[in-house]
Amino acid sequence: MTLATFISSRRFKVDLWRATPGPFKVGAVILVAHGLFAVLGFFWTPYGYAEMGAGLPLSGISWQHPMGLDQIGRDVFSRFMHGAHIVLLLSFAGTMLGMVTGTTLGLLSGYVGGWFDEITQRIVEAMISIPFLALALVMIIAAGPALAGAPVLIVFVVGLVYAPRITRIARAAAMEIATREYVAVAELRGEGTWSIVFREILPNAANVLLVEFSLRLSYAPILIGALGFLGFGIRPPTPEWGLMISENRNLLIASPVTVFGPGLGLASLVIGFNLFTDGLSRMLGQRPVAGA
Amino acid sequence: MSIFRLLASRILFSALTLLLVSILIFLILEALPGDVATRILGREATAKALEVLRSQLHLDQPALVRYFQWLGDFLRGDLGTSIATGRPIADVLGPRIVNTLLLSLFAFAIYLVLALIPAIIQAVNRGKMIDNVISVITLLLLSLPDFLLATILLFLFAVAVPILPALATISENSTWQEMLRAMVLPAVTLAIMMAVYAIRVLRDSLIEVLRSDYVRLAELKGLRPRAVLFRHALPNAIVPALNVTALNLGFLIGGVVIVERVFSYPGFGTLLIDALQLRDIPLIKATVMISAAVYVAANLAADVLAVLLQPRLRISR
């Protein structure tokens, strides 16, 4: 059997499925479900996400309103559905921004070394020393009232909070890879710094960076949710899940499902991401990382 | 000698980091392009109000002068005056810091129990059912946002089974029993959030230590399993967990913001949120500086402890 026929055979697919770690599979299934739900919620929701009077306020769970209604009669499930793509997009965009900034800075700083590295590391150290939530909130305040509640600001803040942490990881990877022979060969060929960093080091740091991306992505919905929960996130009535939990918290006695419905959604998304990350790091031979 | 040089350089670096933090905070809050006063008060603010605020913040002076003035005052212990209340920041901060310190100590005590016991159970029974069950539980808890966990605990123990107060409002004249009862829910929330990170690290390092030669030797000498575990294995396994604990202290500072908010606990975290909502820039600067200082100090302490606890590190670094 040639390799091509083997890869297209059913047996290979079965083996591949068996070889992937369990958490990865469960995580992937949860994430695909969340993705489909988000796409559906983007195009269609049972009621409008800001439509008041979709039913009797606070009337609890029913077939028409699986997550009940809030105090101005908005259907919580419709809001939850519409919020899904917002949470996912903000998380992806923010993590991506942090990843691009952090990877570029970290790889350069690890490969170039010297003064550039020294200065970058000191700034990174200082940024990490500010508790990330405090840093995020201070940046939101500094942006001023014109930008407050704008999605762009949230993306920017997530990116900026993540960038120094990713820089550290990328730098450590680059320092290790920089000692390898193929980097020395590329230097002898006369390749420039940028070319070496992006052609030689980046591809070889891909595993580490992929796990880091997945790890950061797992936490992004929590960070965005926390900003929303504290009232510094996306502007209402946009149904970001953390904001919804905060809005409905005073309904905890009257209709707990309006809080725990979106809460379950948020938790299941993060569980999916975490399982996926865990499996991914095992598949790529990286140690699962713990800690913020 | 070398150990002292190591410690001295660590302390120096920590001080440098804090200096950079002060520059960063100042840059973010006061040196961004655009008028600071307008950003604080909004576009609808009257010219008079803007003028008053500008003079309060000394905005007529150049940024560099303002920075060094602030830094100098801060280093001499003068934290400035809160714009919103007009009171000296030190007076506002003092009691809040005490409250948060009490809460953190309480949380930390619970954290030690919540981290150690499951990790020990897992390491001793590795690969068995109970190990997997605890792993799954920690992963689930790890995925729970802190504000959601706090809300769940509040719902369970203050609404569904009302045995604890929903609001952790304490004052100077509450008795210590009242304070303790008020602090249970926020402290448990914080402890769980910190423990889930530590359990994984602690379990892995315990398993590694249990496989090592000296633990084997201790077993072969015929020591009782309990003595092997607590006298020989645990002290060595704790070193890797120390860094997580320092990280956790950093988390604790961020976590108190959320948890204190959920339970309306009058601590440092709620003060930060209040300061941010009122755009009280001097108060924001002071609270953020202090939280960064605590984080840096915690990391420094963890480094020092790691050096002192593990002789091997003294040479290899």
Lowest mean pLDDT, pick from A60-64, A284-288, B94-98: A284-288
Tell me whether residues B254 and A275 touch, CB distance under 8 A.
no
CATH number at residue B114: 1.10.3720.10
A119, A125, A133: best to mutate for the B interface, most B CBs within 10 A: A133
User: Across the strands, what pairs with A69?
Assistant: A75
Residue A136 has pLDDT above 90, yes or no: yes
* Residue A40 belongs to domain spanning: 23-286
Residue B73 has pLDDT above 90, yes or no: no
Residue B164, C-beta contacts closer than 8 angstroms, at least 6 positions apart: B157, B158, B181, B184, B185
Local structure of B44: helix, strand or coil: coil
Distance CA B249, CA A216 (A): 20
A289: chain B residues, CB-CB within 8 Å:
none
Q: What is the pLDDT of residues B174-189, one digit of tens each?
A: 778 888 888 899 999 9
Q: What is the pLDDT of residues B95-154, one digit of tens each?
A: 999 999 999 899 989 998 998 899 989 988 888 889 989 988 998 898 899 999 999 999
Q: Which two tokens stand for residue A150?
A: 């704008």
How far, rounded to the nearest angstrom, does the alpha carbon of residue B61 sit from its chain's CA centroid?
35
> pTM higher than 0.90 for the full model?
no
Residue B215: pLDDT band with limits 50, 70, 90: confident
Higher pLDDT, A228 or B84: A228
Distance CA A64, CA B157 (A): 30
Asked, for residue B309, whether it belongs to a domain, the answer is: no
A145: chain B residues, CB-CB within 8 Å:
39, 42-43
Asked, for residue A10, whether it belongs to a domain, the answer is: no
Same domain, B175 and B59: no
Q: What is the pLDDT of residues B201-212, one digit of tens each?
A: 888 888 888 887
Number of C-beta neighbours around residue B280 at 10 A: 23
pLDDT at B44: 73
Q: What is the least distance, in Å, from the CA of A109 to any CA of chain B?
A: 18
Q: Looking at this predicted complex, what is its ipTM?
A: 0.87
Residue A290: pLDDT band with limits 50, 70, 90: very low
Q: Which amino acid, one-letter code, is at A176?
A: E
Local structure of A69: helix, strand or coil: strand
Tell me whether residues B17 and A226 touch, CB distance under 8 A.
no
Residue A57 has pLDDT above 60, yes or no: yes
- Which one of A123, A138, A291 has the shortest CB-CB distance to B28? A138
The pair phi, psi for residue A5, each rounded to 5°, is -70, -35
Tell me whether residues A144 and B159 touch, CB distance under 8 A.
no
Lowest mean pLDDT, pick from A84-98, A145-159, A256-270, B158-172: B158-172
pLDDT at A88: 96
Same domain, B68 and B182: no
pLDDT at B197: 82
Average pLDDT, chain A: 88
Asked, for residue A13, whether it belongs to a domain, the answer is: no
Asked, for residue B227, whether it belongs to a domain, the answer is: yes
Asked, for residue B288, whether it belongs to a domain, the answer is: no
Give the highest mean pLDDT range of A15-24, B158-167, B213-222: B158-167
**B21 to chain A: nearest residue by CA?**
A126
pLDDT at A4: 67
- Which one of A146, A253, A271 has the shortest CB-CB distance to B143? A271
Average pLDDT over residues A275-290: 76
Asked, for residue A7, whether it belongs to a domain, the answer is: no
Q: What is the pLDDT of residues B228-274, one digit of tens each?
A: 777 777 777 777 777 777 777 767 777 889 999 999 899 999 999 99
pLDDT at B316: 46
Q: What total number of domains does chain A contain?
A: 1
Distance CA B253, CA A131 (A): 7
CATH number at residue A40: 1.10.3720.10
A292: chain B residues, CB-CB within 8 Å:
197, 247, 250-251
Same domain, B64 and B116: no
Tell me whether residues B143 and A274 touch, CB distance under 8 A.
yes
* Residue B38 belongs to domain spanning: 3-76
Rg of the Cα trace of chain A?
22
Residue A79: pLDDT band with limits 50, 70, 90: very high
Closest to A99 (Cα-Cα) out of A154, A152, A155: A155
Asked, for residue A216, whether it belongs to a domain, the answer is: yes
Asked, for residue B305, whether it belongs to a domain, the answer is: no
The pLDDT > 70 percentage for chain A reads 91
